[in-house]
Structure 1
Amino acid sequence: MNQKPPEPGGFILSALRPRQDPSGKGLQIMRKIVLASAIAVSALGLAACSESTEDAAGDTVENAAADTEANVDAMGEGIEDAANDTGEAVDNATDAAEEEATEAEADIQGETETEAAAD
């Protein structure tokens, strides 16, 4: 009887070792299957990553548009308030200038302010 000595590592490790295929075709087919599986998994991972990235980019654009709209609204309100404040300041300055002019005229002409304002 011609028996082989037991392989190092026992039965479990020998079961995990690839079998020798005298023709070599079995290993080539298995390599192709493993390679095709790896490519498919990579492609699916890339597609899923791209979709989530695309969704995130879309959300970012929508948020930026909403922020821009809110900022434009706030600026519009700020500009309107500033214009109103400026208008009030001009009115107040005009009223004060007219009062001072009336007082100056009354002093110069020796009139009362009512008489100077009527001129």
Structure 2
Amino acid sequence: MPTRDGAAYEIQAKRASIRLVCSALGISSSGYRYQSKRSTENAEIADWLLYLTDTHRTWGFGLCYVYLRNVQGFRWNHKRVYRIYRELALNLRIKPKKRLVRETPQPLAVPERINAV
């Protein structure tokens, strides 16, 4: 699979045009020129998530997201925030349900005569 780095190497080494190299490698020229603008926002989301999970240890993703959305007023997409939450491995352990301890049942009383309850 051709990558952007491979295309950049070919452009530098061969002194070929971007259009020629991209068509030879089978990638689009707009894909070659693309630069993500979200990295600073992703770092800010990661900082907030780390802060919230340190201060509130029992908060899972749902409470963290609701806090960021409603209290802090950030309008980040929940899928994006959850992707970063998983990348940071902040998932809480799912605790098993506690079983109720039941007493052994008492034997039923035997009626003393017919039709007696």
**TM > 0.5:** no
Q: Which has the higher contact order (CA 8 A, sep 6+)?
A: 2
More helix by share: 1
TM-score (norm 2): 0.25
In our comparison, the structure showing a higher alpha carbon Rg is 1
